[in-house]
C-alpha cells in the first residue's frame, strides 16, 4: 500500500461515519468500510477538496468498487442528485485541472459512472453536460493534449458522449481550440492516441459542418490520406508475419480514418483536396483488400460516390474501371454471401450509383379539379346548407310517413353509371361475377417464403444489370394515358431506346400486353428490360405524389411454360409482408372457365427491397392538404393570430422528409399455364364499386322479404358525384306483417359500421360483406335476435371515388378521409361530413343509445386480425369492470374467432390519430365502444387469408356483440365473469383492486355457474362453429395467432400504433412516451356506466 494511501486511511479515522470501526482493524479494512459508504466517500472528497493527493486517493477508492458485486448499485447511488457525487467530482476536476494524475483518475471515474448507469445513462450524460462537463473536457484537452495517453482517451470518450446530448459541445470545441488540438494529435501524436483522436473528430463533425471546415483548414486531408496509405502498407506487411491482435487494431484504426474521410466529403474544398491526394485510388485499394468487411466496404463506396461528382474524380474513377469494376469486384469478393447479406451490398451499390428519377415524366397525369357545384359551395343538391341538412331522413325505422323500405338505389334493373376521371375504357371488364368473387380455395394457401438461394439469385441478377447494360432493352410497352414527354435518361449506361428496339427484334418471346384501364385498376407504365422481365410503375393517388401501394392490372399475349418476372419499382413503404411470405392475388380466365378456379395466391421468388429511384416531389394538392393539417394542429388561441408562414414552413418540412430517400421494388415471378389467356394481378382481393352495387341489387332476389328489415339509401354524393350507400338493418315489420311501434325501435341500441375509407384496403369490403350477409339472412335465429334488438347503420364504401379510380389511400381531393373527422368539409370530404352528422343525429338529437362504432380496415404490415380501441388506462389507477369496458369486445373476439389476436390490439389514443373516426366519436360524442378493426392483407403465421376468412371476421363481430345483449344488472359487465377478471388481472396485476360495487356482487371467479357460464359457453360455442365450418370445406384459417395460443395476455401498449396501416406523413408526436401516463379524455373515459343498461 502506498504511503499516500496509508496517510489517507489515517485521516479517515477521524470521520464520524467510521468512528465506530474497531481500532484494531488495519487501514485496508477501514478503507473497505469507507468505500461502502457512499456519503462518507463524497464527504471525504469535499473535506480534502484542495488537497490534490488526498482527493485523488478518495477517487481511487471509488475505483476499488468496480470489483464488488454491488458496484452498479453503488455507482448509481454515487451519481444521485441527493448525494451529489457527480457535482463534487466535476468541481474537483476544475480546481485541479492542471494536475495530470488527478485529472486522469477523475476522468476515468466519470467514464465509469456513464458506463455503469445502464438505462439511466442518458440522464447521467445530461447531468454532466449541465454541470459544465463540456467546457471542462475542452479545457483539459487543451492543457494536457496527448502527454498522457490514458487521460487523452478518457477526455475524448467524455466529449463523444456529451456531443450526443449537447450540440453546443461541438461549437465550444471549435471556438476553444479543441479541434486544433485534435488535429495536432492526429498529425504528431503517439500512435496509441490516434484511435481516440479520430473517434472524437468523427463525433464532433457528424453534427456540425463548421467543424468539418475547420479540420480541412488545419490541413487534415493530406494527413488522413497519408495515414491511410501507411495503415494499408502495415496491413500488407502484417500478412507476412501475422499477429491477429495487431491486425485487428490496424483494421479498427483504418475504419476510423475512412469514416473521417467520408465526413470530410461534405465540404467541397475537401473533395478537391482528396481527389488531388489520390483518395479515389486509395478507396479502390481498400475495396480490393477488404471487400468483405461490411463497414469498410460501405464507407469506401460512399466516399467514391461523392468523389466521382468532381470532374477530376470522375476521370480517376473511370481510369480504374468505374461502375463495372466495382460491381465485378464486389461480386468476386462476396461470392460466399447469400440472401440478406448480399441484399445489403446491392442496396448500398444502388445508393452508391447515381440516384436517378423514375423512367417517366410526371407532367402528364390525370388530375381532378373541384368544380363549383352546389356541394363545393357548402350546400347540398337542394341548396340546403350542410349544417342545416335534415339527417332524420336517414332514420327510416323511425319515420312517421309511409316509407318504401328498400329504396330505388338497389332495386332498379340498371344502376346509374359511376363517375370516373381515369380512362377506364377497357372493352373487357375486370372479373367481377359472383362466382369469381366468392371463390374460396379448397385448401389453405400456405405462405411463400423465398429461400436464401432464390434471394441470392435475385441479388446477383440486379448486379448484372449494372455490369452488362448492353443486354437491357428498356422499351416502353404500356402507358395508361398517351404521353408525349420523353422519359428521363435511364439509370444504367447503355440503356437507350434505339438499342432496346434492336434487342427487341432479336427476342423470340413476344411482348406481354398490359392493361389497367378498368375499374379499380392501377398501372401507370411498363418497361420491358429483358425478354421476360418487366419494370412496372404504379399511379400515385389522384392529385398526389404519394401513396403507391395498390396495384391491379391484366396481362395478355402469354407464352405458357415460361417464367415471367415483374418488378414494381415505385413502392413507398420501407417494409412489407411480401418479405414474410405474402404473394399477390392472381386470376386466370382460362383457369376459371376450365376448372372454376377464381382469385388465388400466385408468384414465386417474391422479394421486397430498396432501389435507386428517387421519390417524387410533392404536388400542389399535397402542399395544400398538409398546410391545412398544420393549421388545424396548431389550434391558435383567439388572442393570437394564426401564422400562415409557420404552417407552410412546417408542412414543407414534413413533405421534404417524405420525399427523401428512394422507392422500393416488389419483384415476383409467375409461370403461366394457358395460351390465349388473360390474367390479372392485384395486391389483395379486388372488390369494386360496381361489385357493391350489383350485390345490393341482387339482395331482394335472394330474400324477397328483405324489405321488412333493410333499407338502402343514398347518404350523400361524393366529390366525384358517386352515391354513398347507407344501409339500415333492423326489424321494422313483424312476421304477421304489422309494423313495429316506433317507441320500441327507438329503445334499440344502434351500431355504426363503415368500411373502405381507404380504397386500397379491399379486404375491408369483404369484412363488411360478411357482416351484411349474416344480418340479412332470415334463416339464422341469432341474426333475427340482433335485428330485433339493434339498429345497424352500415356504410359499406365510404370512399367510392378512390375505389373506382384505383387510389390506395385518398379521395379525389388528395384527402385521407380518415383524417378528416375532426373538421370535415362539404368541399373536400362530404362523405365524412354526412356520416358524422348522422352519428350526431342519432346520438344527440334522437338521444338513442349507440352501442358500437366500428371502422373496418386492412393492414399491409401486420399479421392476423386485431383492433384499435380507445381505453388508455393511467398507471396506479384502480382497475374496475367499468374502466375496462372497451377491452371486453376484442377479448371476446379473440376467444371466439380463429386468427383474431388480442395481444396485438392496442387502446392508446395518440395525437397523430386525433382526427380519425375512432377517436373523434369517442371523444366528441362519448361512444365508448369505438374501434378500428384491422385485417392483415396477408394472413397469419402459416397461411394466407382468403375472402371467406375476411367475411368470417364480419360475422364474428356480430357474434361478439351477442353476449352484451344478454347481460343484466349493475355493474352489468361483471356478468362476463372470468373474462372481465382476466382483463382486470392483466392490466392491474394479480392483486388488482375491485370496486365496492363489484365486491357486493362477488368477484367474477366466485359467481355461480349459471351467471358466469352463459357468456363463456356462448363464446366457446361460436368459436367451435367457426372451426367446424373451416373443417367442412378443408380451408381452416391459421389459428396460431389466436389469443388462446398467444403468450402475451396484455395488448402491446408500448408498440407504435399503426392505426389503419400508415400515417399520412411522419409526425414528431406519433409515438407516445412509454414512461409517461397515457392521455385520457375525462369526458369520454368516465361516462356514466348506467347508460349501458343492457336488457
Residues labelled as active-site residues:
934
11 phi-psi bin (left φ>0, alpha ψ -120 to 50, beta other): alpha
Q: Does an H or E element contain 327, and which?
A: helix 322-333
Residues 6 or more apart whose CB falls under 8 angstroms from that of 722 comprise 418, 419, 689, 800, 801, 804
Give the chain's end-to-end CA distance (angstroms, integer): 85
Of residues 795, 720, 723, the one with CA closest to residue 757: 795
Q: How many CB atoms lie within 10 A of CB 402?
A: 7
Q: Following DSSP, what letter does each residue of 975-997 receive, concatenated?
A: GGTHHHHHHHHHHH-TT----HH
Q: Following DSSP, what letter does each residue of 838-865 receive, concatenated?
A: HHHIIIIIS---EEEEEEEEEESS--SE
**Bridge partners, 604 (sequence order):** 669
Instruction: State the Cα–Cα distance between residues 1020 and 1027, nearest whole angstrom.
Output: 11
Q: Contact at 8 Å (CB) between 48 and 55?
A: yes
245 phi-psi bin (left φ>0, alpha ψ -120 to 50, beta other): alpha
Instruction: State the Cα–Cα distance between residues 789 and 852, nearest whole angstrom.
Output: 13
Q: Contact at 8 Å (CB) between 119 and 148?
A: no
Instruction: State the Cα–Cα distance between residues 644 and 366, nearest whole angstrom.
Output: 29
Q: Contact at 8 Å (CB) between 431 and 299?
A: no
Instruction: State the Cα–Cα distance between residues 608 and 448, nearest whole angstrom.
Output: 13
Instruction: State the Cα–Cα distance between residues 928 and 916, nearest whole angstrom.
Output: 15
Instruction: State the Cα–Cα distance between residues 445 and 914, nearest whole angstrom.
Output: 38
In this structure, the strands spanning 533-537 and 563-571 are: parallel
Burial class (CB in 10 A: 0-12, 13-18, 19+), 645: exposed
* Residue 837, C-alpha cell as written in the block: 352528422
Query: Any idea what the Cα angle at residue 652 is, between residues 648 and 658, rounded to 5°?
Result: 150
Q: Does an H or E element contain 170, and which?
A: helix 168-175
Instruction: State the Cα–Cα distance between residues 169 and 184, nearest whole angstrom.
Output: 19
Residues 6 or more apart whose CB falls under 8 angstroms from that of 311 comprise none
Burial class (CB in 10 A: 0-12, 13-18, 19+), 244: exposed
* Residue 955, C-alpha cell as written in the block: 360475422
Peptide bond into 630 cis (omega under 30): no
Residues 6 or more apart whose CB falls under 8 angstroms from that of 856 comprise 753, 754, 755, 756, 764, 767, 768, 932, 933, 935, 954
Instruction: State the Cα–Cα distance between residues 965 and 787, nearest whole angstrom.
Output: 12
Full strand arrangement of the beta sheet holding 475-479: 475-479, 525-530, 533-537, 563-571, 662-671, 604-614
Residues 6 or more apart whose CB falls under 8 angstroms from that of 719 comprise 368, 370, 375, 801, 811, 812, 813, 828, 830
**Bridge partners, 571 (sequence order):** 664
Q: Contact at 8 Å (CB) between 436 and 599?
A: yes
Q: Is 866 helix (H, G, I), strand (E, B) or coil?
A: strand
Q: How many CB atoms lie within 10 A of CB 735?
A: 9
Amino acid at each position: 500500500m502506498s504511503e499516500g494511501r496509508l496517510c489517507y486511511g489515517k485521516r479517515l479515522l477521524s470521520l464520524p461515519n467510521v468512528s465506530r470501526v474497531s481500532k484494531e482493524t488495519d487501514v485496508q479494512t477501514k478503507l473497505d468500510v469507507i468505500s461502502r459508504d457512499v456519503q462518507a466517500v463524497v464527504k471525504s472528497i469535499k473535506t480534502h477538496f484542495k488537497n490534490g493527493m488526498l482527493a485523488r486517493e478518495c477517487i481511487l477508492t471509488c475505483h476499488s468498487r468496480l470489483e464488488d458485486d454491488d458496484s452498479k448499485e453503488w455507482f448509481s447511488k454515487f451519481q444521485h442528485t441527493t448525494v451529489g457525487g457527480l457535482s463534487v467530482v466535476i468541481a474537483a476536476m476544475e480546481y485541479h485541472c492542471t494536475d495530470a494524475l488527478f485529472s486522469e483518475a477523475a476522468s476515468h471515474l466519470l467514464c465509469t459512472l456513464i458506463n455503469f448507469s445502464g438505462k439511466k445513462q442518458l440522464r447521467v450524460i445530461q447531468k454532466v453536460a449541465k454541470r459544465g462537463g463540456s467546457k471542462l473536457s475542452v479545457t483539459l484537452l487543451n492543457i494536457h493534449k496527448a502527454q498522457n495517453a490514458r487521460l487523452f482517451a478518457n477526455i475524448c470518450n467524455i466529449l463523444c458522449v456529451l456531443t450526443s446530448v449537447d450540440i453546443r459541445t461541438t461549437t465550444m470545441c471549435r471556438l476553444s481550440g479543441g479541434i486544433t488540438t485534435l488535429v495536432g494529435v492526429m498529425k504528431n501524436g503517439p500512435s496509441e492516441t490516434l484511435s481516440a483522436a479520430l473517434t472524437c473528430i468523427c463525433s464532433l463533425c457528424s453534427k456540425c459542418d463548421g467543424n468539418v471546415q475547420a479540420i480541412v483548414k488545419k490541413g487534415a486531408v493530406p494527413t488522413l490520406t497519408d495515414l491511410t496509405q501507411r495503415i494499408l502498407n502495415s496491413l500488407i506487411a502484417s500478412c507476412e508475419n501475422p499477429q491477429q491482435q495487431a491486425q485487428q487494431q490496424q483494421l479498427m484504426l483504418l475504419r476510423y480514418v475512412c469514416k473521417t474521410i467520408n465526413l470530410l466529403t461534405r465540404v467541397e474544398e475537401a473533395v478537391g483536396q482528396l481527389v488531388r491526394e489520390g483518395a479515389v485510388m486509395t478507396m479502390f485499394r481498400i475495396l480490393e483488400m477488404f471487400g468483405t468487411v461490411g463497414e469498410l466496404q460501405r464507407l469506401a463506396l460512399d466516399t467514391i460516390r461523392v468523389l466521382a461528382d468532381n470532374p477530376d474524380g470522375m476521370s480517376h474513377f473511370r481510369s480504374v474501371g468505374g461502375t463495372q469494376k466495382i460491381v465485378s469486384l464486389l461480386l468476386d469478393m462476396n461470392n460466399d454471401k447469400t440472401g440478406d447479406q448480399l441484399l445489403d451490398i446491392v442496396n448500398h451499390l444502388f445508393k452508391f450509383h447515381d440516384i436517378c428519377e423514375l423512367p417517366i415524366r410526371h407532367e402528364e397525369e390525370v388530375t381532378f379539379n373541384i368544380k363549383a357545384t352546389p356541394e363545393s359551395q357548402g350546400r347540398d343538391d337542394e341548396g340546403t346548407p350542410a349544417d342545416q341538412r335534415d339527417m332524420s331522413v336517414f332514420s327510416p325505422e323511425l319515420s312517421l310517413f309511409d316509407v318504401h323500405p328498400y329504396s330505388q338505389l338497389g332495386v332498379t334493373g340498371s344502376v346509374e353509371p359511376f363517375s370516373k376521371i381515369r380512362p377506364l375504357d377497357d372493352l373487357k371488364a375486370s372479373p367481377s361475377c359472383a362466382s369469381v368473387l366468392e371463390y374460396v380455395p379448397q385448401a389453405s394457401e400456405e405462405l411463400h417464403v423465398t429461400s436464401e438461394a432464390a434471394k441470392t439469385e435475385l441479388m446477383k441478377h440486379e448486379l448484372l444489370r449494372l455490369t452488362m447494360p448492353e443486354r437491357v432493352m428498356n422499351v416502353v410497352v404500356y402507358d395508361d394515358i398517351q404521353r408525349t414527354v420523353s422519359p428521363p435518361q435511364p439509370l444504367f449506361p447503355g440503356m437507350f431506346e434505339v438499342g432496346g428496339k434492336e434487342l427487341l427484334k432479336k427476342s423470340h418471346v413476344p411482348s406481354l400486353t398490359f392493361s389497367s384501364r378498368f375499374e379499380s385498376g392501377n398501372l401507370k407504365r411498363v418497361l420491358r428490360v429483358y425478354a421476360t422481365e418487366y419494370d412496372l410503375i404504379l399511379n400515385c393517388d389522384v392529385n398526389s405524389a404519394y401513396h403507391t401501394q395498390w396495384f391491379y392490372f391484366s396481362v395478355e399475349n402469354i407464352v405458357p411454360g415460361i417464367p415471367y418476372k415483374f418488378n414494381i419499382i415505385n413502392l413507398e413503404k420501407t417494409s412489407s409482408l411480401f418479405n414474410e411470405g405474402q404473394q399477390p392475388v392472381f386470376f386466370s380466365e382460362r383457369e376459371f372457365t376450365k376448372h372454376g378456379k377464381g382469385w388465388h395466391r400466385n408468384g414465386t421468388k417474391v422479394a421486397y427491397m430498396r432501389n435507386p429511384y428517387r421519390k417524387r416531389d410533392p404536388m400542389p394538392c399535397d402542399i395544400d392538404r398538409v398546410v391545412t393539417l398544420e393549421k388545424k394542429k396548431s389550434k391558435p388561441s383567439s388572442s393570437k393570430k394564426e401564422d400562415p408562414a409557420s404552417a407552410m414552413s412546417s408542412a414543407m418540412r414534413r413533405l421534404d422528409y417524405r420525399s427523401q430517400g428512394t422507392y422500393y421494388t416488389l419483384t415476383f415471378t409467375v409461370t403461366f399455364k394457358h395460351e390465349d389467356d388473360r390474367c390479372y394481378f392485384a395486391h389483395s382481393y379486388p372488390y369494386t364499386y360496381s361489385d357493391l352495387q350489383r350485390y345490393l341489387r341482387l339482395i331482394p332476389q335472394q330474400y324477397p322479404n328483405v324489405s321488412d328489415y333493410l333499407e338502402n339509401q343514398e347518404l350523400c354524393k361524393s366529390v366525384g358525384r358517386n352515391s354513398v350507400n347507407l344501409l339500415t338493418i333492423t326489424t321494422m315489420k313483424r312476421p304477421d306483417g304489422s309494423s313495429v311501434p316506433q317507441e320500441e325501435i327507438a329503445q334499440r341500441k344502434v351500431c355504426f359500421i363503415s368500411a373502405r375509407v381507404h380504397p386500397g384496403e379491399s379486404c375491408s369490403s369483404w369484412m363488411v360483406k360478411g357482416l351484411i350477409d349474416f344480418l340479412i339472412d332470415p334463416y339464422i335465429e341469432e341474426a333475427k335476435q340482433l335485428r330485433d334488438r339493434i339498429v345497424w347503420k352500415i356504410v359499406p364504401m365510404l370512399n367510392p371515388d378512390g375505389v373506382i379510380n384505383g387510389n390506395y389511400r385518398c379521395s379525389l381531393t388528395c384527402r385521407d378521409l380518415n383524417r378528416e373527422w375532426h373538421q370535415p368539409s362539404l368541399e373536400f370530404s362530404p362523405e365524412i361530413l354526412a356520416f358524422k352528422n348522422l352519428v350526431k343525429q342519432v346520438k344527440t338529437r334522437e338521444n338513442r343509445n349507440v352501442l358500437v362504432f366500428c371502422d373496418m380496415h386492412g393492414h399491409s404490415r401486420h399479421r392476423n386480425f386485431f383492433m384499435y380501441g380507445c381505453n388508455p388506462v393511467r398507471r396506479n389507477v384502480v382497475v374496475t369492470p367499468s374502466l375496462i369496458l372497451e377491452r371486453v369486445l376484442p377479448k371476446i373476439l379473440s376467444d371466439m374467432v380463429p386468427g383474431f389476436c388480442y395481444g396485438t390490439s392496442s387502446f392508446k389514443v395518440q395525437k397523430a390519430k386525433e382526427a380519425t373516426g375512432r377517436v373523434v366519436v369517442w371523444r366528441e360524442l362519448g361512444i365508448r365502444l369505438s374501434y378500428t378493426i384491422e385485417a392483415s392483407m396477408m394472413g397469419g403465421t402459416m397461411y394466407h387469408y382468403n375472402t371467406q376468412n375476411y367475411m368470417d371476421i364480419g360475422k364474428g363481430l356480430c357474434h361478439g356483440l351477442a353476449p352484451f345483449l344478454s347481460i343484466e344488472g349493475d355493474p352489468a359487465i361483471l356478468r362476463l365473469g372470468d373474462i372481465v377478471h382476466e382483463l382486470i388481472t392483466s392490466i392491474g396485476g394479480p392483486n388488482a383492486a375491485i370496486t365496492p360495487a363489484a365486491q357486493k356482487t362477488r368477484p367474477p371467479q366466485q359467481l355461480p355457474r349459471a351467471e358466469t357460464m352463459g357468456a363463456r359457453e356462448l363464446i366457446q360455442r361460436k368459436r367451435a362453429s367457426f372451426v367446424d365450418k373451416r373443417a367442412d370445406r378443408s380451408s381452416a384459417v391459421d389459428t396460431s395467432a389466436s389469443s388462446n395460443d398467444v403468450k402475451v395476455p396484455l395488448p402491446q401498449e408500448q408498440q407504435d400504433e399503426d392505426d389503419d396501416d400508415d400515417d399520412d406523413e411522419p409526425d414528431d408526436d406519433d409515438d407516445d412516451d412509454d414512461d409517461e401516463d397515457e392521455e385520457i379524455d375525462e369526458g369520454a373515459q368516465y361516462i356514466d356506466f348506467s347508460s349501458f343498461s343492457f336488457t
